[in-house]
A and B are shown apart, each in its own frame.
Chain A
Amino acid sequence: DIQMTQSPSFVSASVGDRVTITCRASQDISSWLAWYQQKPGKAPKLLIYTAFTLQSGVPSRFSGSQSGTEFTLTISSLQPEDFATYYCQQAKNFPALTFGQGTRVDIK
């Protein structure tokens, strides 16, 4: 299976901060990567797919980028509603789809 490794596991940040989360795939997944946001007690929500494409309705402060097998989710200016846990997911290797372990973004 393709391993997805997120870093850091935890981020403490303030409103207005720029936050960057990284996800590294254990092998080439092309751009078949998604990012999800999950708030406590809620289901995950799709933010970005195919590494860069913003899902409809997602604020433009969220963006995705890629360098080889390393993917980045950036929140350009953290808002109060962005405090959550973020997961990456590779969609290259079906039916062995895998997720990262999550990055929790907490209030400093």
Chain B
Amino acid sequence: GENVEQHPSTLSVQEGDSAVIKCTYSDSASNYFPWYKQELGKRPQLIIDIRSNVGEKKDQRIAVTLNKTAKHFSLHITETQPEDSAVYFCAANRDDKIIFGKGTRLHILP
């Protein structure tokens, strides 16, 4: 079955700098890769997703890249702000299910 590995587990960046979170997946049939953000005490919410027919997608300060050959995808956050502090989860589809990585806790330092 699909395994999704996520790194790092914790990331601290200075406010205004960029943050990068990386994920790898095992099932070559996977074709949908969402990213969820979970703020403290709140439910996870989708922030961006990418499908296998594109290599990159951008939404304001957030971008995701996908390398299907290497089976890895990454989340890039530029010009980080305090409200970016949260846990971020990558995921990939497996059959009718979505399998999540273990999460990255992102700290934005003042």
Q: Do A and B come from one complex?
A: no
